[in-house]
A = this chain, B = another copy of it.
Amino acid sequence: MAKIVVDVMLKSEILDPQGSAVAAALPRLGFSFAKSVRQGKRFEIEVEGEVTPAQLAEAEKAAELLLSNPVIENFVVRVEK
């Protein structure tokens, strides 16, 4: 069943203590692959039936108004199968 996914990440110039904490922890656990880590939010939104363009447009609005804070965050809205 299709769902709308909204990814919200802190803007690159805003410091991300959670991401940095993860980046710092990885080597301690013996992981060396990460150059940098950013942590954000992922929203999975179920809709009735298939996702319509109208719903997607609504989701865009909701992401801008509620799900993200434009002062510090960017977001991406997409449909996921």
Contacts and interface: CB of A to CB of B under 8 A. Distances in A.
Interface of A: 4, 7-9, 19, 22, 25-26, 29, 31-48, 54-55, 58-59, 61-62, 65-67
A66 B29 CA distance: 9
Task: Give the 3 A-B residue pairs with the shortest CB-CB distance, closest first.
Answer: A42-B42, A33-B55, A35-B46
Contacts of A65: 29
A59 B23 CA distance: 12
Contact of A43 (B29, B38, B66): B38
Nearest to A34: B45
A31 B59 CA distance: 8
Contact of A62 (B29, B40, B44, B61): B29
